[in-house]
Amino acid sequence: MDKEKEFLKVFNDLEQYLRVTYSKGDYSYTGFVTKLYQIKKSRENYIINNNQNFELIKQAAQMRNIISHNNDVLVPSDNFLNDFKTVVQKITRPLTVRQIMTRYDDLKTCRLTDTIGDVVDLLKTSGFSTIPVIEKGELIGIFTEKSLYDYFSLRQAKTITKAMLMKDIIEAIDLNNHPRKYYDFISVNTNIYDAYAMFNKDIKQRREMLLLLVTENGKEGEHLLGIVALRDLENHLIN
């Protein structure tokens, strides 16, 4: 396959994907560039929101028009074709939560019988911002650097000692109480753009969410498969 045909195939795949994904039930014809501007304005697609990617796709649309009418005039360079294929793949075949999550076996966890001092030390040394609380294989809570503040708020307690156990502050870490909106459940098959949108949605609603708890179907009560933090998503979206 020559480069012109390869380019046209990649472009057609992108155009079809965008028209189906962002039709919102309206299948009337809209020019590609007009549709592209609509998607960027809606801020629904992180890759297209990026100005560099947006300009690359616009250039590709111009090239498509030229090549379609006369393929002897323009041949995409190897660099442009590779860059375009990379952007299109990110849009049409995005990574899933399964591919980027910190898996359960790699998590640093604690139990209700662990002391607050030990868990605080684990939080500092692990590099994680959250420590899942696991009891008999079941996720029952989340400990973060703000959990102690939540405990003070809920109990109006005057002191917390390192010797206290995690079960002593259960109100501040229990998933059912969640005094701070710092988690939500997500399916392992969700793509990373939809996962990122969940964080943005909470920001818009002035709620705080620090991580996503990954289960098979994104339902509470299912076996915990892993966790995804905002920084995990940003690392993959930016790079």
| Final residue of a structural domain among 37, 62, 90 | 90
- Give Rg (Cα) of the chain: 23
Q: Are both 71 and 126 inside the same structural domain? A: no
Shared domain for 199 and 122, answered yes or no, is yes
Pick the most confident of 64-68, 78-82, 143-147.
Answer: 78-82
**Do 7 and 85 fall into the same domain?**
yes
Is there a single domain that holds both residue 132 and residue 80? Answer: no
Q: Which two tokens stand for residue 116?
A: 């607050």
Indicate whether 129 and 145 sit together in one domain: yes
Tens digits of residue pLDDT in 17-69: 998 888 765 656 778 999 999 999 988 888 999 999 999 999 999 999 999 88
Residues 212, 162 share a domain: yes
List, in sequence order, the alpha helices (H) in the chain: 3-21, 32-42, 46-49, 51-69, 78-92, 97-100, 116-126, 147-155, 170-173, 192-204, 230-238
Q: Same structural domain for residues 59 and 106? A: no
Last residue of a domain, one of 50, 70, 90: 90
Instruction: Please give the residue range of the domain that contains residue 45.
Output: 3-90
Total Cβ atoms within 10 A of residue 235? 11
Cβ count near 160 (within 10 Å): 17
- What's the whole-model pTM score? 0.74
Tell me the mean pLDDT in the region 156-170: 87
Query: Residue 154 sits in a domain of what CATH number?
Result: 3.10.580.10
Return d(Cα 156, Cα 163) in angstroms, integer.
19
pLDDT value of position 55: 97
Alpha carbons 236 and 8: distance in angstroms, whole number: 27
Does residue 106 share a domain with residue 85?
no
Do residue 81 and residue 141 come from a single domain?
no
| Residues 92 and 17: beta-carbon distance below 8 Å | yes
Nearest-angstrom CA–CA distance, 50 and 71: 29
Residues 153 and 184 in one domain: yes
Domain count, the chain: 2
Q: Is the pLDDT of residue 135 over 80?
A: yes
Same domain, 111 and 159: yes
Shared domain check, 74 and 123 = no
Among 90, 108, 123, identify where a domain stops: 90
